[in-house]
Structure 1
Amino acid sequence: MTAQKFIPAGYEQLPESGQFTWSAPSNIALVKYWGKKPGQIPANPSVSFTLNHCKTVTTLAFTKKQTDGRFSFDLLFEGQPKEDFKPKIQKFFERIESYMPFLKDYHFKIDTRNTFPHSSGIASSASGMAALAVNLMGLERLIFPEMTDAYFNQKASFLARLGSGSACRSVKGQVVVWGENQAVAGSSDEYGVEFPHPIHENFKRYQDTILLVDKGEKQVSSTVGHDLMHGHPFAERRFAQAHENLAKIASVLQNGDLESFVEIVESEALTLHAMMLTSRPYFILMKPNTLEIINKIWKFRSETKIPVCFTLDAGANVHVLYPENDTEKVLQFIKEELVAYCQNGQYICDEIGNGSAFLSN
C-alpha cells in the first residue's frame, strides 16, 4: 500500500524548537470530486486549477516538550484564538500520527490567515490544510534532511488529503489530478499529482474572477454533501461521468480546444449542484443571483464568441474562467453587468498559480 512509504524510519534526535511560514493556495475543480470512501478516498477522480492569490498563510512554531501522550497546540486565526477550529486540527493530528510519530513530542503554535473570506465557497479548508501539511513537512525535513523535494510534495499532499480531501490538490502544480484515472499516468487516490503533460498556450495564466454572491457560511458543509452520495440514486452514473470527463479534459488541456473546455467545465459545475438537488435530504446551493450571473455569461459568450465560462463549488459563488488575452473585455463585462449581483459588489481577480510556497523560518 502506498501509505506505508510515508511512515518514517526511526529517528535519533529531534530539533528543540523552530518556526516556519508557508502559504498554500485554494484550487478550483474543473472535474468535481463529490462523494468519498472511508479514509478520505475519493469516489471519483478530479482535476483542478491551482489559484494564485486566494491562499492561506500559516506560521507553525514548534517547541519540544515532555511527552505526555497528548497532542498540544494553540491555534490563532487572523491573530485571534479560534476554538471552533481546534477539533478539526485535533482530528487531523489523530489521522496523521502514524505518518508523523513525533507530533506528540511538540507543542505547536499555529497562526493562520486567509487572503479571502473563510467558509464562503472558496475552499478555505483546502488551502488551510495544505498550508499546515507543508509546514509539518518542513519539520519532518529537519529530522530527515536527506528528504527529496518530490517526496516532500507527495507526502504533503497525502497528509493534506487526510485533513480535507481537495487540499491534496493545493500543494504543487498548476493543474493537479487527484484520483486514479487511466488517462493520467501516475494518478492516485491517495495524493494529488501534477498534470503530467504540457499545458496548451490557451491555458497559460488562465484567469479566474470569483464573484462573491454570498460571503456567509455555506448552507451545508462539504462533509455532509459528500455523505449524501452514499445511496444517491444517480451516484454510480455520476462517478462514471467524472472518469469520462477527466479523460476528455486531459486531452483538451493539451490541444487547447476552448469550446470543449467550456462545455465540460460548465456541465461538471451543474452536475455537482444536480447531485445536491436530487439527494435526500436535498439542498439548493445556488442563490437567485447565481442563476442571473450564469444566464448573463451565456448571453455574453453567445454575442461576443469570447470563450468565457463559469464553474461553481458547493455554494453560491461563481468562478468566471477565461483566457488571459480576453481579460480586458471580460473584466469590463464583469464590472458593467455582473458586479451588481455580488454581495456588496465584491469580487476577487485570480489566475493559475503554482501551489504552496515557503516564505520564511
Structure 2
Amino acid sequence: MTHTEFLPSKYNRIVTEGKVTFKAPSNIALVKYWGKKEDQIPANPSLSFTLDACATTTSISYAIVKGKGSGFSFEFLFDGKPKPDFEPKILTFFKRIVYYLPFLREYHFTIDTSNSFPHSSGIASSASGMAALALGLMHLEKELDPKITQEFFFRKASFLARLGSGSACRSIEGDLMLWGGHKDIPGSSDLYAIKYPFEVHDVFHGYHDTILLVDKGQKQVSSTVGHDLMHGHPFAEQRFAQAHEHISKLRGVLATGDLKEFISIVESEALTLHAMMMTSRPYFILMKPNTLKIIEKIWAFRATSNTHLCFTLDAGANVHVLYPKDEKEKVNQFIKDELVAYCENGQYICDRIGFGAKRVLPAQV
C-alpha cells in the first residue's frame, strides 16, 4: 500500500457538528526505532508492547464553519484548560495530514485532552496523544464516508498518527505491534503499524511493565533531535541491520516462549539505543546514576531469584521493568524492597500490556 491509497473518496454525507472521545495508550518498544527519513519514515523497523494504564483521553468537538477558509480553526485544552503552547504542534500535524483529510479546513475543532499519568512523570505522551487525536479525526471521516471499513479505519488512523509522532502509529492497536518494512513479515510497512502476525506464546500475554521514574525533568534532548543525529552517525548502518536481525530472531523467541533470549534481545536493544546517543555528534548521556544502579540490581536479582524480569529504556533515564504475569508478586516485592529507593520521590507506575485504543462513549466520559 502506498500513501495515495489514504486519499479520501468524495464524501457523500454532510455532518454539521458532533463530538467523539478516544482513549489511546502509550507503548514501549522492544526493538527500538531510532533514526528517520523524510515524512516520518523510520530508518529501521520496530516492535512494541502496547500498554494499558498509561493512556491519553482526547475529546474532539467539531462544528462546520461557514465559508471554507485556507487555514485551520481549532483550540487546544489540556485537562479542560487552554494550552496555547501546544497549539503549534497541532498546527504542524494538521498541515501534514490535510492532504489526506481535506475536511480539516471546513470545521472548528475543540480538542480537550488529558493523561492518566502525571504530566511531570517523564512518560512521553506524544504517542498516546497523537494516536487518540488521529482516531477522533478518523471518526469524523467515517461519518462523512460510512463505506470506510474497520480495518481501513485503524490502518489510516495509524498512518495519520505516524505523521504526528512516529511511535504513535503503534498505539492504535495491540498488544504486539510492528512498524516498518521487514522482509520476513508480510504486510509490514513504513507507513503504518500492523499487529504482529505470527504465533505468540502464552507467557507473553498479560506481560507486566513497571515504570520506574528515575528523572521526571525535561528531556535533555528532544526525540526529533535524537533521531536526526542518526544522519551520518558512524554506526548507523550497523544499528539498522541489528534491528532487522533482532526482529527476525524474535519470531522464534515469541513463538516458543524463550524468555532467556527475549531478555537478551530486549536489554541489548535498550543499551544500543543509548549507545547511539553516546556516540553521536553532539553526544548525550541520557541515563542517570540511578538508572545504572537499577540495572545492576535487576541483573543481580535475576541471577539469584529464578525470575525473568528484564529492563528496557526509552530515550531518557526512566526504567521499564518487564516481567511475566505469573512472576508479578515476587517481582513487585523486589521493586518495593530494592528499586523504589532509586526513583525520584519514590514514584513508579504499574502497567501491563493492553490491546490498543478504545472509543469512550458519552456515559463513560
TM-score normalised to structure 2 length? 0.97
Q: CA deviation at 1:340?
A: 0.4
Q: How does 1:133-282 map to 2 (within 5 A)?
A: 133-282=134-283
Q: CA deviation at 1:270?
A: 0.2
Distance in 1 separating the partners of 2:255 and 2:60:
38
Aligned to 1:322: 323
Q: CA deviation at 1:84?
A: 1.4
Letter in 1 for 2:337: E
Distance in 2 separating the partners of 1:87 and 1:325:
45
SS at match of 2:221: coil
Letter in 1 for 2:35: G
Aligned to 1:51: 51
Q: How does 1:26-45 map to 2 (within 5 A)?
A: 26-45=26-45
Check if 1:295 corresponds to 2:327. no
Identity of aligned residues (%): 64
Aligned to 1:306: 307
Letter in 2 for 1:254: A
Letter in 2 for 1:48: S
Listed one character per residue, the Cα deviations across residues 308-334 of structure 1 (whole Å, up to 9, x for unaligned) are: 000000000000000000000000000
Structure 1 unpaired stretches of 5+: none
SS at match of 1:98: coil
SS at match of 1:247: helix
Distance in 2 separating the partners of 1:349 and 1:49:
15
Q: CA RMSD in A?
A: 1.0
SS at match of 1:22: strand
Aligned to 2:23: 23
Distance in 1 separating the partners of 2:307 and 2:73:
53
Aligned to 2:352: 351
Distance in 1 separating the partners of 2:133 and 2:194:
19
Contact 2:33 2:44 in 1 (8 A): yes
Aligned to 2:335: 334
Distance in 2 separating the partners of 1:76 and 1:200:
42
Letter in 2 for 1:178: W
Contact 1:176 1:194 in 2 (8 A): yes
Distance in 2 separating the partners of 1:236 and 1:28:
23
Q: CA deviation at 1:117?
A: 3.2
Distance in 2 separating the partners of 1:253 and 1:352:
15
Distance in 2 separating the partners of 1:143 and 1:251:
43
Q: CA deviation at 1:120?
A: 5.0
Q: CA deviation at 1:46?
A: 0.2
Greater displacement, 177-186 / 319-328? 177-186
Aligned to 1:9: 9
Q: CA deviation at 1:12?
A: 4.0
Q: CA deviation at 1:88?
A: 0.7
Contact 1:25 1:56 in 2 (8 A): yes
Distance in 2 separating the partners of 1:118 and 1:179:
29
**Runs of 4+ with deviation above 2 angstroms:** 117-123
Contact 1:120 1:217 in 2 (8 A): no
Greater displacement, 11-20 / 149-158? 11-20
Distance in 1 separating the partners of 2:78 and 2:250:
37
Letter in 2 for 1:114: N
TM-score normalised to structure 1 length? 0.98
Check if 1:62 corresponds to 2:43. no
SS at match of 2:219: coil
Contact 2:52 2:353 in 1 (8 A): yes
Distance in 2 separating the partners of 1:287 and 1:78:
31
Letter in 2 for 1:359: V
Contact 2:126 2:165 in 1 (8 A): yes
Aligned residues: 361
Distance in 2 separating the partners of 1:307 and 1:147:
43
Q: CA deviation at 1:250?
A: 2.3
Listed one character per residue, the Cα deviations across residues 328-358 of structure 1 (whole Å, up to 9, x for unaligned) are: 0000000000000011111111011001100
Letter in 1 for 2:2: T
Letter in 1 for 2:170: R
Distance in 2 separating the partners of 1:192 and 1:263:
24
Distance in 2 separating the partners of 1:217 and 1:250:
36
Q: CA deviation at 1:9?
A: 1.0
Distance in 1 separating the partners of 2:120 and 2:185:
31
Change (3 A) 1:118 1:227: farther
